[in-house]
Amino acid sequence: MKRLTEEGDLMRMATTVRKDIIEMLVKAGSGHSAGPLDLADIAVALYFNILNIDPKKKNDPARDRLYVSPGHTAPVWYATLARAGFFPVEELKTLRKLGSRLQGHLDRLTTPGVESSAASLGQGLSIACGCAYAGKLNQLAYQTYCILSDGEHDEGSVWEAISFAGHYKLAHLTAIVDRNNIQIDGPTEQVMTKEPLRERYEAFGWHVIDIDGHNMEAILDACSEAKAIVEKPVCIIAHTIPGKGVDYMEFDYKWHGTPPDKKQAREALKQLRTLGGKIESSDI
Protein backbone atom coordinates (compact mmCIF):
# COMPACT_ATOMS: atom_id res chain seq x y z
CA MET A 1 0.00 0.00 0.00
CA LYS A 2 1.46 3.33 -1.06
CA ARG A 3 1.51 5.95 1.67
CA LEU A 4 0.48 9.41 0.47
CA THR A 5 2.03 12.37 2.26
CA GLU A 6 1.10 15.29 0.02
CA GLU A 7 -2.28 16.92 0.56
CA GLY A 8 -2.86 17.21 -3.19
CA ASP A 9 -2.27 13.49 -3.71
CA LEU A 10 -4.69 12.62 -0.91
CA MET A 11 -7.37 14.92 -2.31
CA ARG A 12 -6.98 13.43 -5.79
CA MET A 13 -7.34 9.94 -4.32
CA ALA A 14 -10.51 11.08 -2.52
CA THR A 15 -11.94 12.22 -5.85
CA THR A 16 -11.07 8.83 -7.34
CA VAL A 17 -12.91 7.13 -4.47
CA ARG A 18 -15.96 9.35 -5.05
CA LYS A 19 -15.94 8.33 -8.71
CA ASP A 20 -15.81 4.68 -7.66
CA ILE A 21 -18.79 5.23 -5.34
CA ILE A 22 -20.94 6.69 -8.12
CA GLU A 23 -20.08 3.87 -10.54
CA MET A 24 -20.70 1.21 -7.89
CA LEU A 25 -24.09 2.60 -6.92
CA VAL A 26 -25.44 3.04 -10.43
CA LYS A 27 -24.40 -0.49 -11.38
CA ALA A 28 -25.95 -1.91 -8.22
CA GLY A 29 -29.17 0.06 -8.65
CA SER A 30 -29.45 0.43 -4.88
CA GLY A 31 -27.45 1.74 -1.95
CA HIS A 32 -26.54 4.92 -0.11
CA SER A 33 -25.05 8.01 -1.74
CA ALA A 34 -24.82 10.95 0.68
CA GLY A 35 -22.81 9.41 3.52
CA PRO A 36 -20.25 7.56 1.42
CA LEU A 37 -19.52 10.67 -0.66
CA ASP A 38 -19.02 12.88 2.37
CA LEU A 39 -16.71 10.36 4.09
CA ALA A 40 -14.29 9.99 1.17
CA ASP A 41 -11.74 12.52 2.46
CA ILE A 42 -11.67 10.92 5.92
CA ALA A 43 -11.46 7.38 4.52
CA VAL A 44 -8.55 8.25 2.25
CA ALA A 45 -6.71 10.10 5.03
CA LEU A 46 -7.03 7.07 7.27
CA TYR A 47 -5.98 4.35 4.85
CA PHE A 48 -3.34 6.24 2.88
CA ASN A 49 -1.70 8.22 5.67
CA ILE A 50 -2.85 7.64 9.26
CA LEU A 51 -3.47 3.95 9.89
CA ASN A 52 -0.63 1.57 10.69
CA ILE A 53 -1.99 -1.21 8.51
CA ASP A 54 -0.74 -3.45 5.69
CA PRO A 55 -3.03 -5.31 3.26
CA LYS A 56 -0.41 -8.07 3.13
CA LYS A 57 -0.61 -8.51 6.92
CA LYS A 58 -4.33 -8.15 7.56
CA ASN A 59 -4.20 -9.94 10.92
CA ASP A 60 -1.06 -8.34 12.32
CA PRO A 61 -1.65 -8.01 16.11
CA ALA A 62 0.15 -4.66 16.06
CA ARG A 63 -2.06 -3.14 13.36
CA ASP A 64 -4.34 -0.19 14.01
CA ARG A 65 -8.05 -1.04 14.00
CA LEU A 66 -10.84 0.86 12.27
CA TYR A 67 -14.45 0.04 13.12
CA VAL A 68 -17.22 1.51 10.98
CA SER A 69 -20.50 1.78 12.84
CA PRO A 70 -22.72 3.09 9.99
CA GLY A 71 -22.50 -0.04 7.85
CA HIS A 72 -24.63 1.51 5.11
CA THR A 73 -21.67 3.73 4.14
CA ALA A 74 -20.01 0.56 2.80
CA PRO A 75 -19.30 1.90 -0.73
CA VAL A 76 -16.70 4.42 0.47
CA TRP A 77 -14.88 1.79 2.51
CA TYR A 78 -14.96 -0.77 -0.31
CA ALA A 79 -13.58 1.78 -2.77
CA THR A 80 -10.86 2.90 -0.36
CA LEU A 81 -9.88 -0.67 0.58
CA ALA A 82 -9.66 -1.62 -3.09
CA ARG A 83 -7.53 1.42 -3.95
CA ALA A 84 -5.32 0.61 -0.95
CA GLY A 85 -4.69 -2.92 -2.25
CA PHE A 86 -6.92 -5.12 -0.09
CA PHE A 87 -8.72 -6.58 -3.14
CA PRO A 88 -8.92 -5.83 -6.88
CA VAL A 89 -10.50 -2.55 -7.97
CA GLU A 90 -12.44 -4.43 -10.65
CA GLU A 91 -14.38 -6.17 -7.88
CA LEU A 92 -16.09 -2.90 -6.99
CA LYS A 93 -18.47 -3.50 -9.90
CA THR A 94 -20.00 -6.42 -7.98
CA LEU A 95 -21.47 -4.27 -5.18
CA ARG A 96 -24.71 -5.83 -3.90
CA LYS A 97 -24.65 -8.56 -6.54
CA LEU A 98 -25.58 -12.13 -5.66
CA GLY A 99 -22.48 -13.96 -4.41
CA SER A 100 -20.38 -10.78 -4.17
CA ARG A 101 -17.98 -10.20 -1.29
CA LEU A 102 -19.19 -6.59 -1.28
CA GLN A 103 -22.57 -6.68 0.36
CA GLY A 104 -24.84 -3.72 1.06
CA HIS A 105 -23.57 -3.49 4.62
CA LEU A 106 -20.07 -4.26 5.83
CA ASP A 107 -19.33 -7.93 6.56
CA ARG A 108 -16.00 -8.89 8.12
CA LEU A 109 -16.44 -12.54 7.14
CA THR A 110 -16.44 -11.79 3.42
CA THR A 111 -14.58 -8.54 2.76
CA PRO A 112 -10.79 -8.28 3.20
CA GLY A 113 -9.82 -5.43 5.51
CA VAL A 114 -13.19 -5.05 7.24
CA GLU A 115 -12.74 -5.35 11.02
CA SER A 116 -16.38 -5.75 12.06
CA SER A 117 -19.75 -6.43 10.48
CA ALA A 118 -22.23 -3.56 10.63
CA ALA A 119 -25.90 -3.20 9.83
CA SER A 120 -27.86 -2.28 12.93
CA LEU A 121 -26.78 1.22 13.91
CA GLY A 122 -25.40 2.11 17.32
CA GLN A 123 -23.11 -0.90 17.80
CA GLY A 124 -19.73 0.13 16.42
CA LEU A 125 -18.43 2.20 19.30
CA SER A 126 -19.12 -0.60 21.77
CA ILE A 127 -16.99 -2.94 19.66
CA ALA A 128 -14.25 -0.32 19.39
CA CYS A 129 -14.32 0.17 23.16
CA GLY A 130 -13.81 -3.56 23.66
CA CYS A 131 -10.86 -3.49 21.28
CA ALA A 132 -9.31 -0.45 22.94
CA TYR A 133 -9.84 -1.93 26.41
CA ALA A 134 -8.19 -5.20 25.31
CA GLY A 135 -5.22 -3.21 24.04
CA LYS A 136 -4.98 -1.42 27.37
CA LEU A 137 -5.09 -4.69 29.34
CA ASN A 138 -2.51 -6.31 27.07
CA GLN A 139 -0.32 -3.18 27.03
CA LEU A 140 -0.42 -2.97 23.24
CA ALA A 141 0.12 0.36 21.53
CA TYR A 142 -2.19 0.05 18.52
CA GLN A 143 -4.70 2.80 17.82
CA THR A 144 -8.42 2.06 17.67
CA TYR A 145 -10.63 4.25 15.48
CA CYS A 146 -14.40 4.23 15.16
CA ILE A 147 -16.47 5.98 12.51
CA LEU A 148 -19.86 7.12 13.82
CA SER A 149 -22.77 8.77 12.05
CA ASP A 150 -24.39 11.70 13.81
CA GLY A 151 -27.83 10.12 13.38
CA GLU A 152 -26.94 7.03 15.38
CA HIS A 153 -26.39 9.21 18.42
CA ASP A 154 -30.15 8.74 18.83
CA GLU A 155 -29.23 5.29 20.14
CA GLY A 156 -28.79 4.76 23.87
CA SER A 157 -26.14 2.13 23.20
CA VAL A 158 -23.87 4.83 21.75
CA TRP A 159 -24.03 6.84 24.96
CA GLU A 160 -23.36 3.76 27.07
CA ALA A 161 -20.19 3.21 25.06
CA ILE A 162 -19.22 6.87 25.36
CA SER A 163 -19.65 6.59 29.14
CA PHE A 164 -17.63 3.35 29.27
CA ALA A 165 -14.73 4.84 27.32
CA GLY A 166 -14.61 7.93 29.48
CA HIS A 167 -14.82 5.99 32.73
CA TYR A 168 -12.00 3.61 31.81
CA LYS A 169 -9.95 6.40 30.22
CA LEU A 170 -9.47 4.51 26.98
CA ALA A 171 -6.48 6.23 25.51
CA HIS A 172 -5.63 5.20 21.93
CA LEU A 173 -9.38 5.29 21.14
CA THR A 174 -10.52 7.90 18.61
CA ALA A 175 -14.15 8.29 17.56
CA ILE A 176 -14.72 10.22 14.34
CA VAL A 177 -18.27 11.54 14.08
CA ASP A 178 -19.54 12.21 10.56
CA ARG A 179 -21.48 15.38 11.41
CA ASN A 180 -23.34 15.80 8.12
CA ASN A 181 -26.59 16.88 9.82
CA ILE A 182 -28.85 14.43 7.98
CA GLN A 183 -30.37 11.03 8.58
CA ILE A 184 -32.88 8.97 6.65
CA ASP A 185 -35.94 10.81 8.02
CA GLY A 186 -34.61 14.34 7.64
CA PRO A 187 -32.24 16.89 9.25
CA THR A 188 -30.77 15.47 12.45
CA GLU A 189 -31.89 18.33 14.68
CA GLN A 190 -35.49 17.87 13.55
CA VAL A 191 -35.47 14.10 14.09
CA MET A 192 -33.82 14.27 17.52
CA THR A 193 -31.57 16.97 18.94
CA LYS A 194 -27.87 16.08 18.96
CA GLU A 195 -26.47 19.37 20.18
CA PRO A 196 -24.54 20.39 22.15
CA LEU A 197 -22.60 17.37 20.88
CA ARG A 198 -19.15 18.61 21.89
CA GLU A 199 -20.18 19.40 25.45
CA ARG A 200 -21.96 16.07 25.82
CA TYR A 201 -18.80 14.14 24.91
CA GLU A 202 -16.72 16.32 27.20
CA ALA A 203 -19.12 15.64 30.06
CA PHE A 204 -18.26 11.94 29.71
CA GLY A 205 -14.52 12.63 29.96
CA TRP A 206 -13.52 12.82 26.28
CA HIS A 207 -11.17 15.25 24.59
CA VAL A 208 -13.04 16.77 21.62
CA ILE A 209 -11.72 18.28 18.38
CA ASP A 210 -13.97 20.04 15.85
CA ILE A 211 -12.80 20.05 12.23
CA ASP A 212 -13.87 20.60 8.65
CA GLY A 213 -14.23 17.00 7.50
CA HIS A 214 -13.21 17.94 3.95
CA ASN A 215 -10.02 19.76 4.88
CA MET A 216 -7.28 17.16 4.49
CA GLU A 217 -4.75 19.07 6.59
CA ALA A 218 -7.28 19.41 9.41
CA ILE A 219 -8.08 15.69 9.30
CA LEU A 220 -4.41 14.73 9.50
CA ASP A 221 -3.67 17.24 12.25
CA ALA A 222 -6.66 16.12 14.33
CA CYS A 223 -5.65 12.46 14.14
CA SER A 224 -2.08 13.37 15.06
CA GLU A 225 -3.35 15.33 18.06
CA ALA A 226 -5.61 12.45 19.06
CA LYS A 227 -2.70 10.01 18.98
CA ALA A 228 -0.69 12.26 21.27
CA ILE A 229 -3.38 12.31 23.97
CA VAL A 230 -2.74 9.34 26.25
CA GLU A 231 -4.96 10.02 29.27
CA LYS A 232 -8.46 9.89 27.75
CA PRO A 233 -10.41 8.95 24.59
CA VAL A 234 -10.72 11.47 21.78
CA CYS A 235 -13.73 12.46 19.68
CA ILE A 236 -13.18 14.20 16.36
CA ILE A 237 -16.39 15.90 15.22
CA ALA A 238 -15.95 16.14 11.46
CA HIS A 239 -18.36 18.65 9.94
CA THR A 240 -19.15 17.34 6.47
CA ILE A 241 -21.44 18.01 3.52
CA PRO A 242 -23.68 15.05 2.63
CA GLY A 243 -23.23 14.14 -1.02
CA LYS A 244 -19.96 16.09 -1.17
CA GLY A 245 -18.68 16.63 -4.71
CA VAL A 246 -22.02 16.23 -6.50
CA ASP A 247 -23.95 19.50 -6.36
CA TYR A 248 -27.47 18.09 -6.76
CA MET A 249 -26.91 15.72 -3.83
CA GLU A 250 -25.24 18.12 -1.39
CA PHE A 251 -27.18 18.93 1.79
CA ASP A 252 -30.23 16.91 0.62
CA TYR A 253 -31.22 14.20 3.11
CA LYS A 254 -33.24 12.41 0.41
CA TRP A 255 -29.94 11.09 -0.99
CA HIS A 256 -29.18 9.30 2.28
CA GLY A 257 -30.39 5.95 0.93
CA THR A 258 -30.87 6.65 -2.79
CA PRO A 259 -28.50 5.76 -5.66
CA PRO A 260 -28.19 7.85 -8.84
CA ASP A 261 -29.71 6.64 -12.09
CA LYS A 262 -27.53 6.55 -15.23
CA LYS A 263 -28.26 10.13 -16.26
CA GLN A 264 -27.57 11.42 -12.77
CA ALA A 265 -24.42 9.32 -12.55
CA ARG A 266 -23.06 10.75 -15.80
CA GLU A 267 -23.59 14.27 -14.44
CA ALA A 268 -21.91 13.31 -11.15
CA LEU A 269 -18.86 11.90 -12.95
CA LYS A 270 -18.68 15.04 -15.10
CA GLN A 271 -18.53 17.17 -11.97
CA LEU A 272 -15.93 14.94 -10.33
CA ARG A 273 -13.67 15.12 -13.38
CA THR A 274 -13.30 18.86 -12.78
CA LEU A 275 -11.81 18.07 -9.35
CA GLY A 276 -9.01 15.86 -10.71
CA GLY A 277 -8.19 12.37 -9.51
CA LYS A 278 -8.06 9.16 -11.50
CA ILE A 279 -11.28 9.10 -13.51
CA GLU A 280 -11.16 6.28 -16.02
CA SER A 281 -13.55 6.10 -18.94
CA SER A 282 -16.92 4.80 -17.83
CA ASP A 283 -19.51 2.66 -19.52
CA ILE A 284 -22.33 4.44 -17.68
What residue spans define the domains of the chain? 7-273
pTM of the model as a whole: 0.96
7-273 falls under which CATH superfamily? Answer: Thiamin diphosphate (ThDP)-binding fold, Pyr/PP domains (3.40.50.970)
- Which whole-number Å values give the CA distances from 152 to 113, 158, 166, 233, 277, in the listed order? 23, 7, 19, 19, 32
Q: DSSP of 70-129, one letter per residue?
A: -GGGHHHHHHHHHHTTSS-GGGGGGTT-TT-SS-SS--TTTSTT--S---STT-HHHHHH
Per-residue pLDDT of the chain (284 residues; tens, 9 = 90+): 689 999 999 999 999 999 999 999 999 999 999 999 999 999 999 999 999 999 999 899 999 999 999 999 999 999 999 999 999 999 999 999 999 999 999 999 999 999 999 988 999 999 999 999 999 999 999 999 999 999 999 999 999 999 999 999 999 999 999 999 999 999 999 999 999 999 999 999 999 999 999 999 999 999 999 999 999 999 999 999 999 999 999 999 999 999 999 999 999 999 999 887 666 656 67
On the 0-12 / 13-18 / 19+ scale of CB atoms within 10 A, 21 is buried
